Structure 1
Amino acid sequence: MKKILSRFTWLLCCLIGLVPTGCKRDFLSSYPKNNLTATNYYKTEDDFTSAVNGIYDALQADRELSFFPMADIATPFAGFGDNRFGQYDNGIFGVTDGWVMAQTFWVAWYRVVFRANLVLDHIDNKEVTISTAAHDRLKGEALFLRSLAYFYLTNLYGDVPLITRELKYEELLTPRNKKAEVVAAIIADLKTAETLLPSVTQYRSKKALLGRASKGAAKSLLGKVYVYEKRWPEAEAKLNEVINVDKDYSLEPQFLDLFWPSTENGKESIFEIQYAGGVKEGNSYVRFAAPNTASLISTAGFGYVTPTEDYTNLFETTNGFPVTSTFVSRVAAGSAYRYTFTHQSADPAFDPSKPYSNRDPRLAWTVWYENTPYISEFQARTGQSGVNYLQQYANENGHNTVKYIIGKLDLTAGDSPGNMILIRYADVLLLYAETLIELNRNTEAAAYINSVRQRPSVAMPTLQTLETVQNRTIIADQQAMRKFLREERYRELAFEWGHLYMDQIRWDVFADEIVKYWTAKKYGGSNPALGSFDKRHYLWPIPAEERNKNPQLTQNPGY
């Protein structure tokens, strides 16, 4: 599944106008000039396999969806004024931010929709020669991928055009449908997809299929949709199927294995975007998120994801005590700054001179910091020696992200072979715990939160232990459980696929958190206090270029 698009699929996509950057000229010039069209092409299993591969290819496009993990830098947990991803200093994404923002993701997700529609328009035709098993799997994949696209489109932009069939050019000039109508279509498609798709266990026995959408992926996304829509009984039923009925997934013992190419598509993986590496066949996130040094990767990264001290404060000591930090000073050093903090904790074993030592192990596997113990793990996995991480490698605050940064690569373009994880089992466990909390089943919810915290390589104290250590009530208090669940999602899922940003928006805490964070002269800077945040900006703008092409597209309020 790594190199999922065939050369013939590229030809097909070019012929039907879905690859705006063009095709390889040498291939096209050598291909016989015939009357290949969408109408006479979709006839065989090979035809539909290639066409579905083309949908997956739309997910893989260089410098497009692979940048979505950077959405988390809009939150108070990462990013220090390097305005690379929209005006994330105040959480507002502009109308004309170009390729880095609203325009890119709108086009990328609709490319997935259009390619899925081509498959779904033809796969049920009577003249198609295809086995029942292949028909069901390929149709289920197309339905899942279209649903995935619309899930992100509706949560980022709100009302969007609901296009569920191949359209003529003039028909593309369509107005936006209400979000509720699109969500209803997502749910219907996922319900169908889960009946058509095979279990991931079948893929694991056929390595060539591993990485394709499975029954568990459809169920997990459907459960996630229900959570986002606050349809708690339906969310409970669907997520329970994934966890306690099907039992196709489990937690990886080693947290870091989730983000390493040699161990990807493992037993915790529910859906990943597959990358093969090599120029234009890999993801470009590594180059843009990696530290600004060639000692860790062969070409210095841009360091766009810089976790803040507010984020590192979320990680307790290994004994379960909270840690707080107080800003002391910042000093300019080249293009970056050096920050000084004092750290405090009630943990008797806490050493303020080594504030990141003896902390929740996920801290070292999420954040680069000077003298991080992750360096030894990094060296062992890459075979490198003499590797170091210095504070000046970060563009702003001395931190970078660890996730997906996999070592010495020729990162001249989008060529990291590391997959991008969209849905994994820990995410599902925490969504289920959240659902149980909303249904006032806190004791049950605690068990699922504990299971994530007690992954063998993490082994953090249970909530019951924390109540004793911190001398406070958590499990019996619904508000306390909500807060803890949210912080656990922050610790577990940061900088993977925009979970932090999307969670804060759906919980309606983003405005308060970003105002609280952006006080005047934050960390010695010159910024004014943010003061307020208009929640209309929870939705991204409809891109100016799209509205110019389609006058029927209205703009979201506030832009």
Structure 2
Amino acid sequence: MKYLYAILILISLSLTSGCRKFVELDPPDDRLTGSTVYATNETATSVLNGLYIRISETNNVLNSYATSYMSFASDELKNYYINAISSYTKLYQNNVSSDTEIYWSTTYTLIYNCNVAIEGIENNSKLNAQLRPQLLGEAKFMRALLYYYLVNTYGKVPLLTKSDYRLYTMAKRAEVSEIYTQIIADLQDAQAKLSRNYLNGDALTPYPSTSAERVRPTYWAATALLARIYLYNKQWAQAEIAASVLIDNTSMFALVPPSSVFLKNTTEAIFQLEPVVKGNYALFDARTFVLTNFIGTPSNPAAISNQLEQAFEANDQRKANWIGTATISGVKYLFPYKYKANTPALAAARPEYLTLLRLAEQYLIRAEARAQLNNIDGAQADINKIRNRAGLGNTAANSQPALLDAVMKERQLELFCEQGHRWFDLKRTGHIDEVMSVVTPIKGGTWSSYKQLMPIPSYEIGNDKNLDQNPGYN
């Protein structure tokens, strides 16, 4: 498969990157062999630091790939210029073929790197006794996060937890339940190993509480992702408990005004990625979505869909703060504006970090779990926290069905254009056929239920004869 990278590439990336918070220690010589790269605390830490740099500086599943691809496939975005030269057109019309790469290879590349790191660090007596579990926890957390995206995009996928390259060329697809079992096991292990403090570039030294960079995985990040996984797995009680761990930790986490949510190191942030791309923008999401006023042919066709625009209530501060406007060829369009730093000046004046886990989601996870458990008052209280932060009044929902609908509505408005939440929510709740059978014809395509899973790339099936295709695709 195409996703076989040597782990030492990550170390060489550390040599060239400007992301100093991950590379405060001098990275190891890039000619070190696999047998020596984990021989010291510094070199072992640089492997994980290099992984985060790699994720931050490339367009992959953890940044605008999942966000733009899944938003275009769902009802969040519209193609305002249908003839624009864009890789999104087939996704937009829900007409993806097996020849279309979504993010299979990039994700398995990162998983391979996690597997190599786990094997190099586990039972390594040369490493500091405090550092070894932290690095192991980070690698297992990242592996769980990556598999979450794969299983929700493709359904059954190969479950690879070893670094032997031969396994990657003969892997069969594992059942979805088996993948979720592995994700939960990784996250529970990560919980036991990760620090409860946000740590510096050496993965040992805590930041001062008032200036913590929230860019390394922690116990809190593992717990937040575990709450999401429990929700997806319909383990309502466990989801409520896990989300409450974050919500109840008021000394570290609190909601912030909508205008500040996506800035670096806010109290709402649980886990962020620090941007390392230099140039005309700080984050891929800003480059992908921010439109400017101009005349001519646009190259980026993404605009807010009518369905999403009309879902907002009057005076919703999320719409005021997270949706921008632009005039193109005399027509006014709305666009996702959660991340605004798409120029060097804005990047300097408005320091934004890509937020992968945040507290608002935990309130919505707990609200949904409580509604499923028929805790009406508790579900209402959590929904109201999100609505009140947006400048809206309390929810009128007062029954289990109404509360579940209310949670879905708030998730649509709170988490739009963030790492595929809407697409995955429609699938996991069984609403995708109901919604997309109406939306896809508006987009110029036709909807069939099998399209809720993306096709396995044909070249991957050609390289691995044990892979089979998702139903419905040639």
**TM-score scaled by structure 2?**
0.84
Identity %: 25
Output the CA distance in 2 between the equivalents of 1:498 and 1:40.
39
1:32 is displaced (CA, Å) by 12
Partner amino acid, structure 1, of 2:471: P
What is the aligned partner in structure 2 of residue 230 from structure 1?
Answer: 234
2:254 match: 250
Alignment check: 8 A CA contact 2:282 2:344 kept: no
Match of 2:22 in 1: none
Q: Deviations over 1:173-222 (max 9, x none)?
A: 22122121111111111111111111246655275763101111100101
User: Residues 37 and 294 (structure 1 numbering): CA distance in 2 closer, same or farther, change over 3 Å?
Assistant: farther
The amino acid that maps onto 2:339 is Y
Match of 2:94 in 1: 91
Matches within 5 A, 1:434-445: 434-445=368-379
Amino acid at match of 1:44: T
Structure 2 Cα separation of the partners of residues 517 and 35 of structure 1: 53
Please provide the CA RMSD for this pair: 3.2
Say whether 1:430 aligns with 2:429.
no
1:32 and 1:197 map into 2 onto residues whose CA distance is 24
Aligned match of 2:419: 497
Conserved 8 A contact 2:294-2:329: no
Is 1:143 matched with 2:140? yes
Q: 1:400, 1:94 → 2: CA distance?
A: 27
Give the aligned length: 441
Where 2:339 maps in the other structure, the secondary structure is coil
Distance 1:313 1:168 in 2: 49
Is 2:56–2:276's contact at 8 Å kept on the other side of the alignment?
no
Query: What amino acid sits opposite 1:152 in the alignment?
Result: Y
Match of 1:240 among 241, 244, 252: 244
1:471 maps to none
Q: Which residue of 2 aligns with 1:52?
A: 48
Q: Which moved more, 1:75-84 or 1:148-157?
A: 75-84
Distance 1:134 1:17, change over 3 A: closer
- TM-superposed deviation, 1:517: 2.8
For each residue in 1:431-473, what CA deviation from the matched residue of structure 2 results, as whole angstroms up to 9, or x when unmatched? 1100101111121101011111112xx321012xxx3xxxxxx
Partners of 2:11 and 2:47 within 8 A in 1: no
Distance in 2 separating the partners of 1:15 and 1:407: 31
1:354 is aligned to none
Match of 1:205 in 2: 208
Q: Distance in 1 between the 2:36 and 2:11 partners? A: 20
Instruction: Note the alpha carbon deviations across 1:66-85, whole angstroms, 9 max, x for none.
Output: 22211212222311346632
Change (3 A) 1:286 1:556: same
Distance 1:393 1:419, change over 3 A: farther
Kindly state the Cα deviation for residue 172 of structure 1 after the two structures are TM-superposed: 3.8
Which deviations, in whole Å up to 9, do the C-alpha atoms of 1:268-289 show, x marking residues without a partner? 0012222134159953332221
Q: What residue number does 2:20 align with?
A: none
Shift of 1:161: 1.4
* CA contact 1:274–1:419 (8 Å) conserved in 2: yes
Query: Aligned in 2, Cα 1:361/1:126: closer, same or farther, shift over 3 Å?
Result: closer
Is 2:448 the partner of 1:548? no
| Alpha-carbon distance between aligned partners in 2 of 1:19 and 1:304, rounded to the nearest angstrom | 36
Deviations 1:107-152 (A, max 9, x none): 2221221111112102133442x22221221111111001101111
- Aligned residues of 1:226 and 1:234 also touching (Cα < 8 A): yes
Is the CA contact 1:434–1:482 (under 8 Å) kept in the aligned structure 2?
yes
Structure 2 gap ranges (5+): 17-26, 200-205
5 Å-filtered alignment, 1:4-15, equals none
Which residue number in structure 1 is paired with residue 19 of structure 2?
A: none
Larger radius of gyration: 1
**Aligned match of 2:72:** 73
Residue type of the alignment partner of 2:376:
N
TM-score, reference length from structure 1: 0.72
Structure 1 pair 443–366 and aligned structure 2 pair: CA distance change class (3 A): same
The residue that corresponds to 1:122 in the other structure is 120
